[in-house]
Chains A and B, each alone.
Chain A
Amino acid sequence: MAEKKKIIRLSYQKRKELCGFGFISIWLAGTVIFFLIPLIKSLIWTFCDVVLDSGHTSISWTGLKNIRYVLTSDQYYTYYLRDMLTETLWKTPLILIFSLFIAVLLNQKFHGRTLARAVFFLPVIIATGPVYEIISNDMGSTGNTEAAQFSTLFSTDMVGELLQFLGIYNLSDDMDKIISAVSDNIFGIVWSSGIQILLFLAALQNIPSSVREAAQLEGATAWEFFWKITFPYVSPFILANLIFTVIDSFTSPMNTVMKRIFAMRDEWQFGYAAAMVWIYFSIILTSLGITAAVINKFIYYETD
C-alpha cells in the first residue's frame, strides 16, 4: 500500500515537472530563435567580415581585426565611448538620489498627492519615445525656452547665493561643479527618473506600519528614521534601480555611441557594428557587475 502511494506521488511530481515545461515551452522556443541564435551570431560577427548579399550573409573569419579597427582607427567611437561613460558615471548616482528623494516626498500624506504622483510618473509614458527627443531638441532651438530657463529657476546663481547666505563661501570647485551640473541638467534628470521613482515608491509603501509605529514610540527623529529604517528597506531597490538606469541609458537610441553604431549599420559594416556593440556591452556589464557586487554587501534583505 505504501509502495503504491509512493509511485503515485512520483508520477504526480513528474507530471508537475512536465507541466512546468509546458508553461515555458512557447517562450523557450521563441528564445532560442529570436534571442539566443541572434545573440551568438552577433558575437561571431564581431570576429568576422560580414557581407550581406540579398539577405544572405556570408562571413569570413578575421580574428580581432574588427575590434582593433574600432578601437584604433574609427575616429568617433572611442571619443563617444569616453563621453558616454563619464556621463553615465555622474548622471546615474544623481538620478538615483533624486528619485529616492522625490519618492520619499510623494510617499508623505498631503493634499493633491494623487495629482503630484500622476505628474511625476508622466515621463514614464513619454520618455521612451521619439517625443522626448523632439521636445528636448526644440527646447534648445527656440532661444527663449531652452533648458537655461530651468536653470534660472534652479539657477546656479541662486544656489551660489544660497550658499553665501548660509555662510559657505569657499566651497571646493568639485562641489560647485556638481551643483551646477544638477541645475543645468535638471530637465534630463527629472525626465529620466520616472520608473525609478515608481520603484522606490513601491518599496517605501512596503515598509510595515508596525515598524513605523515602533520608531515613533521610541522617539526617532525624521533623520534617524530615514537612515535606520527607510534606507535599509529601499536598499534592494537601489541596486535594481542602478541596473535599470544604466541599462536604460545604455540602450537608448539617443546616445551617441548607439548613433555611431546605427551609422555603421547603415553603411552595411555589420562586422564593425557588432564589434562596437560588444565592446560597449562588455564594458558596461563588467562595471555594472563590480558595482552590484559591492553594493550587494550593504543591502539589507528582510526575508533571507
Chain B
Amino acid sequence: MKIKKSAAVFRFVILAGLGFVIMYPLIYMISCSFRERRDMNDPTVIWIPRHFTLNVIKETISAMDFGNTLKNTLILNIGCAFVQLISCAITGYGFARFRFRFRNLLFGIVIMMILVPPQIISLPLYSQFRNFGIGKFSVNLIDNMLTMYLPAMTGNGIRSGLMILIFRQFFRGLPKELEDTAYIDGCGAFRTFIQVMIPNAASAFLTVFLFSVVWYWNDYYMNAMFFTNTKTAASVLRNIETELKLHLFDSVSVEIPPREQIVWKEAGCLLSITPLLIMYVFLQKYFTEGIERSGIVS
C-alpha cells in the first residue's frame, strides 16, 4: 500500500512538472498578450500584468489583417484538409480491400511518400506549376489555389502518405462480412464504400481529419513556395516581424527594443493558434481516446 502511494506521488510530480513545461509557453503567451509593453521591462512582472490592456491584441489583429488571413486559412487549409481526407480514404480503401497487380509495388510508393521529405520535390514542383501542362497548353498556376488543391485532391497533399497508411490499416481491420452482404444485394463497389464502409469508419475519419487540419493549418513551407501574396495564419506568423514593422512601427521615430516587441509577437501566436486550441478543447477526446480505434495499432 505504501509503495502504491509513493508511486502515485512520483507520477504526480513527474506529470505536473513536465505538464508545466508544456503549458509554460501558452501561459506566457496569454500573459504577454494582455500587458502593456513597458511591463516587459518591469522585473516585478512575471505572470500577472501590472498594466492590463487589450490594445496589443487589437493592434496585432490589424497588423496581421486577421479577418482576411483567417478567411484565406479557412478556404485554403481547411478546404485542402477536407479534400485530402476524402482522396486518402478512397485510396486507402483501394489498398486495403482489393487485390490487383503491382499492389505491393504501388504501396511501396506510398511508403516512399512518407519517407521522402517535401523539400526534395518542392523545387521541381515549383517549376512544374509555373508551366503547368504540356508544351503550348501550359498555364502559370503560381498564386493559384489549385497548387494546393490539386495535390490534395489526388492524395498527394501534406503528409498524405501517412494518412493513406492509416486508412489502409483501418479498413483492413473491419470485418469482410460488411461488404459481402452488400455485394450479394447487388451493390456496386463504390456504393458499398460510401453506404457501408464510411458510416463504420466515422472515428477514423474524425481522427485523420483532425491531423489533416492541424498539418495544413501549421504549414508555411508549401504556402511560401507557391504563393506570393496569399496569407494564411501560419505564413503571416512566420513573417510576423516584417508585418509588425510594416504596420505598427512604421515611423522612424518609434523604436521599440526587441524585448518589448515580444508582446506583439506573442499576441500574434495566440491569435493564430486560438482556432486550433478551441477545436482541440472540443475534440481532444478523439485525439486521446479515438486513436486506438483508428487502426494505427494494427
Contacts from A to B (Cβ < 8 Å): 16-24, 26-31, 33-39, 41-42, 45, 52, 55-57, 102, 105-106, 108, 110, 114, 116-126, 128-131, 134-135, 138-139, 141-142, 144-145, 150, 153-154, 186-187, 190-191, 198-199, 201-203, 205-206, 243, 247, 250-251, 253, 258, 261, 265, 270, 273-274, 277-278, 281, 285
A141 with B296, Cβ < 8 A, contacts A129-B218, A130-B238, A186-B21 known: no
- Which residue in chain A gives the minimum CB-CB distance to B158? A128
Shortest B64–chain A CB gap in Å is 12
B150 at the interface (CB under 8 A from A): yes
B90 at the interface (CB under 8 A from A): yes
Q: Are A145 and B288 in contact (CB under 8 A)?
A: no
Q: Are A273 and B98 in contact (CB under 8 A)?
A: no
Q: Are A24 and B22 in contact (CB under 8 A)?
A: no
Shortest B126–chain A CB gap in Å is 9
Contact of A154 among B17, B123, B285 (CB under 8 A): B17
Central interface residue in B87, B218, B220, by most chain A CB within 10 Å: B218
Which residues of A have CB within 8 Å of B94? 20-24, 27
Which residues of A have CB within 8 Å of B272? 129, 131
Complexed CA–CA distance, A274 and B155 (Å) = 24
A45 with B124, Cβ < 8 A, contacts A22-B190, A110-B11, A190-B18 known: yes
Complexed CA–CA distance, A207 and B270 (Å) = 39
| Overall SS of chain B's interface | helix
A35-B109, A129-B219 given; 10 more Cβ-contact pairs under 8 Å: A20-B100, A31-B154, A36-B109, A39-B121, A42-B123, A121-B284, A128-B214, A128-B219, A138-B262, A141-B259
Q: Are B23 and A121 in contact (CB under 8 A)?
A: no
Which residues of A have CB within 8 Å of B217? 129
Which residues of B have CB within 8 Å of A144? 43, 46
Which residues of B have CB within 8 Å of A258? 119
10 tightest Cβ-Cβ pairs between the two chains A and B? A30-B154, A20-B98, A23-B94, A129-B218, A55-B130, A41-B124, A251-B117, A38-B124, A27-B155, A38-B121
Which residues of A have CB within 8 Å of B151? 30, 34
- Which residue in chain B gives the minimum CB-CB distance to A246? B115
How many inter-chain contacts with C-beta < 8 Å in the A-B complex? 251
B48 at the interface (CB under 8 A from A): no
Interface size on B, residues (CB 8 A): 93
Contact of B120 among A33, A34, A253, A277 (CB under 8 A): A277
B250 at the interface (CB under 8 A from A): no
- Which residue in chain B gives the minimum CB-CB distance to A154? B17
Which residues of A have CB within 8 Å of B265? 134, 138
Complexed CA–CA distance, A201 and B109 (Å) = 28
Shortest B185–chain A CB gap in Å is 15
Q: Are A191 and B234 in contact (CB under 8 A)?
A: no
Which residues of B have CB within 8 Å of A243? 115
Shortest B168–chain A CB gap in Å is 10
Contact of B114 among A119, A125, A247 (CB under 8 A): A247
